[in-house]
Structure 1
């Protein structure tokens, strides 16, 4: 019998955290799942560690990034539902059970996430108000920052056939880009229970590196071309792209990184080539 849920853990040199992540999945009260660990060419003892657990292990010969690792897992998945877990995060035992129960109550839904407990450098912290997770349609709020957690969300596998997989050209913010595609089409619901422990503050996290606004700008330029965007949504994308672009541009000029300023200019040029842009901009002009 095929599992109902496919759990995908992408990992790279996370031997220190991976054991606990795997064991948090295996401790789930909901049992109809498969666990797929995709190793992005780790150089530590990850292969030995995973050999002790009942899971499917795929090791890449060459490092390709987290997007490619997640996509590999999606392609191998047999479950009706997909759940991701970053290898430094943990699930509480009822996480999968709560999400499956939600889908049983709301069969029309395609995605639901849970609340999280945030741990930074070993201490619990409270997220800022701007990081509070909405429920439903929140494309507008998701433009500013990533409001869907890979470790907290569960999706119907069939949705990837419609929106596509993670964009492997993104070195960072690959989840932000995918969630914009998802939210253009569907609501993402929230279970208001903290069922994920999100551990941060360690040195190898991409989310701690500078320059993320560049990849968010790329994501905005990409979603701007999505034919399903309404005129109002396009205006929101332009507004946020300008805001992020100004922040990135000021930082680039301050650091003397002229090539980064050029990159921003190229992103905006691509957006301006969209034939629908003039009429959209006309809508935003104040009336005399």
Structure 2
């Protein structure tokens, strides 16, 4: 019988001592094994690193805080598996998340990226930060976000890792590159992630995000033009 492939899980975190436990609990509640769990701690000054180290088998990598793209890339360089998943400290996976995605990728060897739907979870609509669109929180969108992702490691060899220029939108830029490179992406029509909404995880940098997205669009158009010129 062929052994189950290992899956590397990358969790970037800084100063989230309580939340990181919830995220790791959801990782270790997965019905799937084996897992290679990597926590990239960006210079926490609370008990975050110690909390992560209290879980057997977790590798905690310490680095100075240089932003999420650097943390993602640090984790990717350390993986031991050919399948990679990401989780944020304030998110929770459903227990079957990894098992379902691995099964799909085994059945579809030409697929390199698998994403799923997710659901927003919030304690109270009355305490949401200003500017939050309440109707969106009732949706179950398709998640072109890293926390729903499972990806084959070879994709990073092919298109590169996360661009540190995009501190707030590196995942969007990476998905855009993957699309232009012709990477095969499949969507699983199933909610496998609960994304918790609270004041601490909603960015107040709307202008900075818009600037990054504009640059991503410009580079995408330029990439398309170069591709057209070579045809």
- TM-score bin (small chain): 0.7 to 0.9
Q: Distance in 2 between matches of 1:92 and 1:205?
A: 22
How big is each residue's C-alpha offset from its partner over 1:170-203, in whole Å with a ceiling of 9 and x where there is no partner? 1211111001001112232111111111112323
Separation in 1, partners of 2:169, 2:38: 22
Give the TM-score of the pair, scaled to structure 2.
0.85
Partner of 2:131: none
Alignment pair present for 1:217 and 2:219: no
Give the whole-Å Cα distance in 2 for the aligned partners of 1:69 and 1:49: 18
Matched residue, 2:163: 167
Q: 1:229 to 1:18 in 2, by over 3 A?
A: farther
Match of 1:56 in 2: 59
CA contact (8 A) 1:28 1:92 kept: yes
Task: Tell me the TM-score normalized by structure 1.
Answer: 0.69
Larger Rg: 1
CA 1:3 to 1:34, structure 2 compared with 1: closer, same or farther past 3 Å? Answer: farther
Distance 1:223 1:129, change over 3 A: farther
Which residues in structure 2 correspond to 1:161-240 (within 5 Å)? 161-184=157-180, 185-206=182-203, 208-211=204-207, 212-226=209-223
Tell me the residue number matched to 1:237: none
Structure number with the bigger relative contact order (C-alpha 8 A, sep ≥ 6) is 2
Q: In 2, Cα distance between the equivalents of 1:223 and 1:28?
A: 37
Task: Tell me if structure 1 keeps the 8 A contact 2:27–2:93.
Answer: yes
- Aligned in 2, Cα 1:34/1:112: closer, same or farther, shift over 3 Å? same
What count of residue pairs does the alignment treat as equivalent?
A: 216
Say what the alpha-carbon RMSD is for the aligned residues.
Answer: 2.4
Tell me the CA shift for residue 159 of structure 1: 0.5
Write the distance in 1 (CA, Å) between the matches of 2:73 and 2:211: 23
- How far is the alpha carbon of 1:210 from its aligned partner? 1.6
Stretch deviating more after TM superposition (113-122 or 6-15):
113-122
Gaps of 5+ in 2: 126-133
User: Where does structure 1 lack aligned partners over 5 or more consecutive residues?
Assistant: 134-146, 232-275, 277-288
